[in-house]
């Protein structure tokens, strides 16, 4: 299986044995809207028995406030600079890394059905954005511990 990022590959090692399946090529079956209009979203993993989606991030979310502002910010990046560090510019400007987007998706789906997990320690700025947006987020290690506990109680 090919993953879209190193954090996804890291998370897969922990999540697949727990019954999660990759779903990073499938649109979520929900309607989302930000201040500039409707948008689609994908998650990285899904647990069919629990109807639980997981979005994996490394350490950062950005402060872009809509899909339109994120797209405009990416369009302003010099292509030569982008080519040298695409991951950096995606994290800084991409809608998929926006705290607002993660908050909209989580509140639409419901916190218990959509988890944002971090494979690295979130930056102070990201923690501030998570708190401001009311996003429920966990470290990968803590998330795995909670899932393992739940599985132990259900078996």
Q: What is the pLDDT of residues 20-76, one digit of tens each?
A: 999 988 999 999 999 999 999 999 999 999 999 999 999 999 999 999 999 999 999
The span from the CA of 92 to the CA of 84, in Å, is 14
Query: What is the spatial distance between Cα 15 and Cα 1, in angstroms, rounded to a whole number?
Result: 14
Chain centroid to Cα 45, Å, comes to 10
Whether 9 maps to a domain, the answer reads: no
Domain annotation covers residue 45: yes
- On whether residue 137 sits in a domain, the answer given is yes
Phi, psi angle pair for 21, to nearest 5°: -120, 145
Q: Is residue 10 part of a domain?
A: no
Q: Determine the Cα–Cα distance for residues 118 and 11; give it in Å rounded to an integer.
A: 9
Question: What's residue 109's pLDDT?
Answer: 95
Range of the domain at 142: 18-154
151 vs 63, more confident: 63
Q: Is residue 6 part of a domain?
A: no
Task: Please write the tens of the pLDDT for every residue from 105-132.
Answer: 999 999 889 999 999 999 999 999 999 9
Question: Domain count of the chain?
Answer: 1
Residue 84 lies in a domain: yes
Q: What is the structure's pLDDT at 154? A: 79
Q: Is residue 1 part of a domain?
A: no
Is 81 part of any domain?
yes
Q: What percent of the chain has pLDDT over 70?
A: 100
How far apart (Å, rounded) are the C-alpha atoms in residues 146 and 56?
A: 16
């Amino acid at each position: 299986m090919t993953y879209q990022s190193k954090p996804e590959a890291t998370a897969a090692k922990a999540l697949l044995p727990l019954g999660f399946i990759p779903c990073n090529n499938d649109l979520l079956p929900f309607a989302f809207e930000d201040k500039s209009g409707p948008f689609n979203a994908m998650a990285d993993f899904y647990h069919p028995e629990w109807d639980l989606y997981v979005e994996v991030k490394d350490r950062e979310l950005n402060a872009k406030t809509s899909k339109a502002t994120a797209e405009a910010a990416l369009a302003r990046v010099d292509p030569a600079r982008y080519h040298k560090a695409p991951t950096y510019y995606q994290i800084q400007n991409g809608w998929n890394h926006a705290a607002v987007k993660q908050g909209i998706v989580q509140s639409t789906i419901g916190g218990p059905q959509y988890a944002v997990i971090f494979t690295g320690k979130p930056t102070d700025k990201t923690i501030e954005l998570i708190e401001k947006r009311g996003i429920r987020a966990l470290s990968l290690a803590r998330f795995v511990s909670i899932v393992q506990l739940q599985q132990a109680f259900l078996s």
